[in-house]
Amino acid sequence: MPLQVSNYSWQQTSTAVFISVPLRGVSVRDADVFCTENYLKVNCPPFLFEVFLYAPIDDESSKAKIGNNTVVFTLHKKEAAMWETLSLSGVDKEMMQRIREKSILQAQERAKEAMEAKAVARREDQKYTLNVMMKIEEEERKKIEDMKENERIKATKELEAWKECQRKAEELKIIQREEKLYHQEKQMEEKRKKLKHKCLTGNSASKNFATKGRNSGNIFFEKLKEDNIPAPRSVGSIKISFTPRVFPTALRESQVAEEEEWLHKQAEARRAMNTDIPELSDLKEEEKNPEWLKDKGNRLFATENYLAAINAYNLAIRLNNKIPLLYLNRAACHLKLKNLHKAIEDSSKALEILTPPVADNANARMKAHIRRGTAFCQLELYVEGLQDYEAALKIDPSNKIVQNDAEKIRNIIQGTELESK
């Protein structure tokens, strides 16, 4: 059985009660303090101290201090008054048990309310955090939309400026052409006037001397005939134009069937347009042109804005997925951003479209092999990379840069093999 502590001391004021309970060997870790508005208990085996308070206290503001083998309580009264005694008098066991049970229920209710308040506070914190995150995301989205709008306005202004320059250049050409025609007509008019004046002068001379002798008349007639003889024709050159060919090779050396197939595929690619895209609803007509989007992507690539360039190429590919340069240029952007697998995928797609292999697409095929080979090498797949570089050398054997890069890859492969041995 626990030992009841009875040698405690207490003092009071009108607003507080101070209790000092001596407990030998007491520590914060071992002491169990339980306090409600009418009941106070300290359990520190083998000691037990409990008191049924004379009047209610404010247990939330009351304090207990443990140290120096003593527990000191500072209990704040709910009503300012002086107590006659510390504990109730005439309390039997049943009443003690009821007070204990009531105190335990009060403590449980208070703990439950504290947990619910804590849960409400946690939910409020989560709600506030969610609102803050949504606000941040909304600001980021608005910022991105503003950037896109500014980019679109900038591109529109550039296009309008280019159109204005083209219009002014065309107007200048028309003015120059009209001035040239005006000067030519003026020169022709002057020539006609001179010729008319010359003819009138000759006729009047013939009439003045018509009464003279036959010989004299014949002499002036011969002179007039000589004056009317036209001048010799001026020296000129005749321009001869030949039928233009798309491919630079001579007809006897070209592969006519493959060239015709390539031209047919290019014509189909230019005709293939997918206009059923929701993003096209707010674009101008010139902005729905894949070639315009390709040029825009090239300008963005030149300014090192690779993500925006990829977006331009993506929309162009959705409009027309038969243009190999779109995949080829997007592969270059992925290489800059270290998206190596995507660079390989786009280069392979470009090579798939660049068929059959003809002189007109040789340069594009070489670039596709080099970019795919570069991506393979950055992934440390040197054998696959060397295969692409060798394919590029077959297209342009005299390219020194490709030759040097291929030689470096061979040296890396040989060094890897020696280390593995």
Share of the chain above pLDDT 90, in %: 37
End-to-end CA distance of the chain: 82
Of residues 8, 2, 32, the one with CA closest to residue 22: 8
Domains of the chain, residue spans = 3-88, 91-190, 286-414
365 with 351: CB under 8 angstroms?
yes
Q: Hey, which of 207-221, 246-260, 272-286, 351-365 has the most confident mean pLDDT?
A: 351-365
Gyration radius from the chain CA atoms: 52
- The answer to whether the CB of 60 falls within 8 A of the CB of 41 is no
Give the bridge partners for 77, in sequence order.
57
Instruction: Enter the pTM of the model.
Output: 0.39
Q: 403: burial class by Cβ within 10 Å (0-12, 13-18, 19+)?
A: middle
- Per-residue pLDDT tens for 154-174? 999 999 999 999 999 999 999
8 Å CB contact between 371 and 347:
yes
Nearest to 383 by CA among 373, 392, 393: 373
| DSSP of 250-278 | -TTTS-HHHHHHHHHHHHHHHH------G
Q: Both tokens of residue 342?
A: 């995507």
User: Tell me, what's the pLDDT at 220?
Assistant: 45
pLDDT of residue 217: 43
CA distance 55 to 32: 23
* Each residue's pLDDT tens digit, 110-159: 888 889 999 999 999 999 999 999 999 999 999 999 999 999 999 999 99
For residue 347, the model assigns a pLDDT of: 94
Q: Give the mean pLDDT of 323-333.
A: 94
For residue 211, give the DSSP letter.
T
Q: Is pLDDT at 214 greater than 80 in this prediction?
A: no
What is the mean pLDDT of the segment spanning 86-102? 79
pLDDT of 206 strictly over 80: no
Q: Which two tokens stand for residue 134?
A: 């949504």
Q: CA–CA separation, 244 vs 230, rounded Å?
A: 40
- Give the residue-averaged pLDDT of 311-328: 91
pLDDT band for position 59 (cuts 50, 70, 90): confident
Q: Report the distance separating Cα 194 and Cα 266, nearest Å.
A: 59
Omega before 356 within 30 of 0, i.e. cis: yes
Residue 370: is its pLDDT beyond 90?
Answer: yes
Residue 358 has pLDDT above 70, yes or no: yes
The pairing of beta strand 32-35 with beta strand 16-22: unpaired
Helix, coil or strand: residue 72: strand
CATH 2.60.40.790 is held by the domain 3-88:
yes
- The secondary structure element, H or E, covering residue 12 is strand 9-12
Q: How far is CA 245 from CA 242, 257, 264, 271, 358, in A?
A: 9, 14, 15, 22, 14
Rounded distance between C-alpha atoms, residue 205 and residue 302, angstroms? 79
Average pLDDT over residues 313-337: 92
CATH topology of domain 286-414: 1.25.40
Q: Give how far Cα 37 sits from Cα of 52, 75, 323, Å.
A: 10, 9, 85
In this prediction, residue 268 carries a pLDDT of 65
Please tell me if the domain spanning 3-88 has the same topology as the one spanning 286-414: no
- The DSSP result for 110-144, as a single string, is HHHHHHHHHHHHHHHHHHHHHHHHHHHHHHHHHHH
